[in-house]
Amino acid sequence: MRFKNLYIFIISGFLVSCSSSQSLEKQFSKDRWLTTWATAPQLVEPKNLPEPGLSGNTLRQIVRVFVGGKKLRLRFSNKYSMDSLEVKAVSIAVPSDSSNVDATSIRSLTFEKKNSFKIAPGSDIYSDEVNFNLKPNSLLAITISYGKVTQSVTGHPGSRTTSFIVKGEQASSTVFKDPVKTDHWYSLFNIDVKTGEPSYAVAIMGNSITDGRGSGTNRQNRWPDIFSQRLLANPSTRNVSVLNFGIGGNCVVRGGLGPTALDRFDYNILSQQGVKWLIILEGVNDLGGTRDPDDASKRTEELIAAYQVMIDKAHANGIKVYGATILPFAKSFYDKPFRIEAWKKVNDWIRNSGKFDAVIDFAQHMQSENPEVILNDMHDHDFLHPNEAGYRRMGEFVDLNLFKN
């Protein structure tokens, strides 16, 4: 019954994608929007809500964009919230240090020519286009003065980046005095730019390994960050942005933290601008949650069917899909013989099925002499998540030739 539902999903998803997709020529023309930065929204758990709270206060968030441009717009999300979100003002600026910004760079954003807005539950909103000299590989500060906000908040807990909160409405303030610090993002979904030349994006669907658990706070050294630095430094790929849709604890099929990869695929991947490639590195949490050999065998089949769903939907939208093998996890808290056996079967399908347009074999690259165990000096003391050196090793391994136009 499970697979019957999955195959129905393939058909319906294909029809929706075909009806909404644009030709590649139009989608990637130089005068269109490109998503230069994005994250994967989810309903924020109570433990990750900030003090003193967002309601009536101002939040300043810092992100590192990839491809630059002269015009931009921002999208804010209330997708997973049960209540309306009220915002009084939003500004963008170039950070000067820590929580402060360059006063000459501050630009107020409007939304249908208004400074304030409300987002209904389950909805998003784009800002109006604004002139702003956004440099490639630069930091951008997004400052939001909130009105009424409940405890039901959409955001991204795994920012690995410090945000700052001050009391009252201070969206246009240059200096934040004694801000409260929190290492999470809220409300912000993506940033689009007009580059003036053909530019593209690679989206990455993943879990905590893509989200960067074990990387450094404010160091921007997840494996997608390392990969992006290489793209930007290469003349043939300097106009390619990297969109990180990793969610810690996420699953592909069911369970885990946040919406599953299947459930969020259209919203995360297909709603972005200029996506030409997709990397899928996800499945370890699905396997790690299996109870016994029969459950692991069933989940293996479900994972493979789910990969095919995502491949078909991406292909229907002109997106190439690269399969990344799941990293070894023996000696971790997921280690069970039946889970290792399922992992081998899934990785064998990724490598040899021919369904992906290319394969990025992270598992082989990160394995020790025992292929079931990650390299001893490349994990974050848990034999599951890479450490900073491990993320660098992954980011430097990706073949840039896969992303040349």
Q: Is 70 exceeded by the pLDDT of residue 13?
A: no
| pLDDT value of residue 79 | 99
Q: Which of 189, 206, 235 is the last residue of a domain?
A: 189
Helix and strand counts by DSSP (H, E) for the chain: 10, 22
**What domain range includes position 364?**
2-29+198-403
Q: What percent of the chain has pLDDT over 70?
A: 93
| pLDDT value of residue 26 | 46
pLDDT one-digit tens code per residue, 130-149: 999 999 999 999 999 999 99
Give dist(CA 14, CA 341) in Å, integer: 32
Q: Which amino acid makes up residue 5?
A: N
| Residue 234's CATH number | 3.40.50.1110
User: Which has more confidence, 114 or 18?
Assistant: 114
Give dist(CA 38, CA 275) in Å, integer: 12
pLDDT one-digit tens code per residue, 204-259: 999 999 999 999 999 999 999 999 999 999 999 999 999 999 999 999 999 999 99
The answer on 394 and 260 residing in a single domain is: yes
Q: Does some domain include residue 38? A: no
Q: Is 70 exceeded by the pLDDT of residue 125?
A: yes
How large is the average pLDDT for residues 155-182?
A: 97
How large is the average pLDDT for residues 261-274?
A: 99
The answer on 349 and 221 residing in a single domain is: yes
| pLDDT value of residue 10 | 31
The mean pLDDT value of the chain amounts to: 94
| pLDDT value of residue 29 | 61
For tokens 């630009």, the residue is 107
The answer on 49 and 77 residing in a single domain is: yes
Q: Does some domain include residue 330? A: yes
The answer on 274 and 128 residing in a single domain is: no
| pLDDT value of residue 28 | 52
Q: Does some domain include residue 37? A: no
User: Which has more confidence, 1 or 175?
Assistant: 175
Q: Is 80 exceeded by the pLDDT of residue 31?
A: no
The answer on 185 and 203 residing in a single domain is: no
Query: How much helix, strand and coil, in percent to the nearest 5, is found in the chain?
Result: 30, 30, 40
pLDDT one-digit tens code per residue, 84-113: 999 999 999 999 999 999 999 999 999 999
pLDDT one-digit tens code per residue, 340-395: 999 999 999 999 999 999 999 999 999 999 999 999 999 999 999 999 999 999 99
The answer on 184 and 203 residing in a single domain is: no
The answer on 12 and 81 residing in a single domain is: no
Distance, C-alpha 396 to centroid of its chain: 19
Q: Does some domain include residue 35? A: no
The answer on 224 and 243 residing in a single domain is: yes
The answer on 131 and 270 residing in a single domain is: no
How large is the average pLDDT for residues 174-191?
A: 98
CA angle 312, 10, 277 (to 5 degrees): 25
| pLDDT value of residue 3 | 38
Q: Is 70 exceeded by the pLDDT of residue 24?
A: no
Q: Which of 146, 161, 189 is the last residue of a domain?
A: 189
Q: What percent of the chain has pLDDT over 90?
A: 91
For tokens 């974050």, the residue is 380
Q: Is 90 exceeded by the pLDDT of residue 37?
A: yes
Q: Which of 170, 189, 208 is the last residue of a domain?
A: 189
The answer on 386 and 283 residing in a single domain is: yes
| pLDDT value of residue 51 | 87
Do 219 and 261 touch, CB atoms closer than 8 A? no
Do 85 and 149 touch, CB atoms closer than 8 A? yes
The answer on 210 and 102 residing in a single domain is: no
pLDDT band of 14, cuts 50, 70, 90:
very low
- Count CB atoms within 10 A of the CB of residue 348: 11
The total domain count for the chain is: 2
| pLDDT value of residue 405 | 78
User: For residue 212, what are the β-bridge partners?
Assistant: none
Give dist(CA 175, CA 151) in Å, integer: 27
| pLDDT value of residue 25 | 43
Q: Locate 229 and state its tokens.
A: 């630095």
Q: Does some domain include residue 368? A: yes
